[in-house]
C-alpha cells in the first residue's frame, strides 16, 4: 500500500518531532439508526474546547508509550496498538516515543477513542511527511463505523452533520459544516462516578433495541434541517435550542431502555439539566451514551447566572462536575519541530 509523501523541511530526525492537539466533540444525536433508506445512523455533532487530546511524537531507540498522570487508564494499550498498525500498514517502522499529555475522560460522550486514534495517526503521518487524509487514517485505525462527526471535526471543528457510513464501511460523508456562533456557550455536566456504554456492552444494547421508526427519523431530520442548522447559520438561538432539545428527547426516549429507562445515564445529570431547561432557553441533552450532559446557552453570562441559581436551589448534586466552555471552530492543531512541543 503506497502513501504519497510531502516535501520535508526537517534537516534531522532530532527536529522531526510532532505535537497534536485534537478537540473533543459532543454527539448530539443520530438521524436514523435503523437505516430506513439504506444508510444507517448519520449524526449531528459539535466540536468543543476544553477537553482536548494532546500528544507528542518523537524519535526513540525503541517504540515507547508514555501516558501522563490523569489520562485514560487504557490509553497506553490503545496507543501501542495504533502505532503498531500504522507502522505495519506503511512499512515505516522506525522506533518512536508517543507521549500522551492530556485526554478527556473515556466512555463519557466526548469521542475520546476516535480523537486518540486520529491524533496519533496525524502525528505519525506528519512525522513521516505522508499525505494521508483523515478519513483514511480513521479507516486504517478502525474508527468512524457509526458516527463521522469526530473525523470531520478533527479537520475543521464546528457544528457538523454527516450522512452515515457507506454500505462498504467507508467513513460517513460530511453533509454540512457550520461555524458555531462564538457568543453561545457550552455547559457540560459530568458525573465522574459513571461510564457510558462502550465496546461489547454498547453493541449488545444497540442490538436489543426495537427498530427505529421511520416517522421518528423523519421528525429528527426535520428538526435538523428546519431549526438547528438555520438557527446556527443565522445566530437565531431559540429555534436552534428548541431543535436540539427536541432531537435529544426523541432520540433519548428511543435509547432509554438501554439506559435504565431514562434519556440520561446519570439521574443527577438529568435533574440538573431539566431544572435549567425549565428556566432558561437552552438546548439540553446527553452526548452519546453519556454520562456527560450538556446545555447549549445563548451566552456565558446566562450560563453562569443559571448555574449559580441551580446550585443555590440545590438542583446540582455536589458530586457533579460542571464546566462552561465554547465550541471549537478550528479542528486539530499540529505543531512540527522540537520547539512546537513546548508550545502545545
Domains of the chain with CATH codes: 13-178+329-343 (3.30.230.10), 185-325 (3.30.70.890)
Query: Residue 95, Cβ neighbours under 10 Å: how many?
Result: 12
Strand 64-67 to 96-102 pairing: parallel
For residue 294, the model assigns a pLDDT of 98
The rounded distance, in Å, linking the Cα atoms of 308 and 24 is: 26
Question: What b/e readout covers 179-216, taking b as 16+ CB neighbours within 10 angstroms?
Answer: ebbeebbbbbbbbeebbbbeeeebeeeeeeeeebeeeb
The conformation of residue 5, written as its DSSP 8-state character, comes to B
For residue 344, the model assigns a pLDDT of 35
Among 174, 186, 164, residue whose Cα is nearest residue 109: 186
Burial class (CB in 10 A: 0-12, 13-18, 19+), 341: middle
Which portions of the chain are predicted below pLDDT 70?
1-2, 6-15, 70-73, 338-344
For residue 38, the model assigns a pLDDT of 87
DSSP states along 10-49:
--SGGG--EEEEEEEEEEEEEEETT-TTS--EEEEEEEEE
Chain centroid, CA 37 distance in Å: 26
Global pTM reads 0.92
Among 36, 3, 45, residue whose Cα is nearest residue 131: 3
For residue 199, the model assigns a pLDDT of 76
For residue 342, the model assigns a pLDDT of 38
For residue 204, the model assigns a pLDDT of 83
Amino acid at each position: 500500500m503506497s502513501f504519497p509523501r510531502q516535501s520535508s523541511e526537517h534537516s534531522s530526525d532530532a527536529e522531526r518531532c510532532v505535537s497534536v492537539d485534537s478537540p473533543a466533540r459532543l454527539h448530539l444525536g443520530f438521524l436514523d439508526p435503523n437505516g430506513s433508506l439504506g444508510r444507517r445512523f448519520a449524526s449531528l455533532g459539535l466540536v468543543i474546547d476544553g477537553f482536548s487530546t494532546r500528544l507528542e511524537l518523537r524519535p526513540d531507540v525503541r517504540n515507547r508509550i508514555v501516558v501522563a498522570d490523569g489520562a485514560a487508564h487504557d490509553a497506553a494499550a490503545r496507543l501501542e496498538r495504533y502505532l503498531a498498525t500504522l507502522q505495519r500498514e506503511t512499512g515505516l517502522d522506525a522506533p518512536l516515543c508517543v507521549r500522551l499529555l492530556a485526554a478527556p475522560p473515556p466512555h463519557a460522550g466526548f469521542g475520546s477513542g476516535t480523537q486518540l486514534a486520529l491524533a496519533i495517526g496525524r502525528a505519525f503521518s506528519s512525522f513521516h511527511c505522508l499525505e494521508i487524509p483523515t478519513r483514511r487514517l480513521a479507516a486504517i485505525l478502525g474508527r468512524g463505523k457509526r458516527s463521522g462527526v469526530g473525523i470531520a471535526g478533527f479537520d475543521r471543528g464546528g457544528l457538523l452533520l454527516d450522512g452515515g457510513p457507506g454500505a462498504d464501511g467507508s467513513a460517513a460523508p460530511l453533509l454540512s459544516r457550520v461555524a458555531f456562533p462564538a457568543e453561545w456557550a457550552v455547559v457540560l455536566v459530568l458525573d465522574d462516578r459513571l461510564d457510558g456504554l462502550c465496546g461489547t456492552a454498547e453493541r449488545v444494547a444497540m442490538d436489543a433495541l426495537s427498530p427505529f421508526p421511520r416517522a421518528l427519523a423523519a421528525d429528527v431530520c426535520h428538526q435538523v434541517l428546519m431549526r438547528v442548522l438555520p438557527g446556527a447559520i443565522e445566530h437565531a438561538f431559540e429555534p436552534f435550542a428548541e431543535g436540539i432539545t427536541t432531537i435529544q428527547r426523541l432520540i433519548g426516549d428511543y435509547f432509554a431502555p438501554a439506559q435504565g429507562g431514562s434519556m440520561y445515564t446519570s439521574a443527577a445529570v438529568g435533574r440538573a439539566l431539566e431544572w435549567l431547561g425549565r428556566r432558561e432557553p437552552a438546548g439540553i441533552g446527553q452526548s452519546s451514551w453519556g454520562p456527560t450532559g450538556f446545555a447549549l446557552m445563548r451566552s456565558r453570562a446566562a450560563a453562569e447566572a443559571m448555574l449559580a441559581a441551580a446550585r443555590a436551589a440545590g438542583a446540582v448534586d455536589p458530586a457533579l462536575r460542571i464546566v462552561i466552555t465554547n465550541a471549537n471552530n478550528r479542528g486539530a492543531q499540529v505543531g512540527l519541530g522540537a520547539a512546537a512541543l513546548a508550545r502545545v
